[in-house]
Amino acid sequence: MTARTRLAAGIALIGAAAMLAGCASSAPFDITGTWTGTNYRVWGGIDGYGETPFTLTVTQNSGRGFVATVTYDENGAVSTDEVIGVVPEQGRFALLDNDDGVSSLEIIDANTITYCFKAIDMDLANCATLHRR
């Protein structure tokens, strides 16, 4: 990863954290469990647009922090990545991070979330509406 992409990722994280920091206080949702849905992606220069199955499995949820794995199809092969995240005090949005990019999560209701991802070093963005199993 180049210094320029690290800087861009850092600026994106700081900006998202600043937006989330001023939220009103309430108890966060318990998002532990398995969430599934369809991932809609745009992958510039490789294979364009696509839809694939997507799973977010939240294995640890302590206070506002959580650890999860995402499982998705990557050009016909199943891939799994670990992500970490924090839900602000108001309990609706979360910011996530892993080695490949930055993600956001919006809690729609107790059984529906939206998960979006932007890769740091390639033209790839995707979003999935996920439902708790």
Beta bridge partners of 82: 69
Low-confidence residues in the chain, pLDDT < 50: 1-27
Q: How large a percentage of the chain has pLDDT more than 90? A: 31
pTM of structure: 0.72
Q: Are 68 and 56 in contact (CB under 8 A)?
A: yes
pLDDT the model gives residue 100? 82
CATH 3.30.70.1060 describes domain 3-132: no
Q: Are 16 and 8 in contact (CB under 8 A)?
A: no
Domain parsing of the chain, residue ranges:
3-132
pLDDT the model gives residue 58? 94
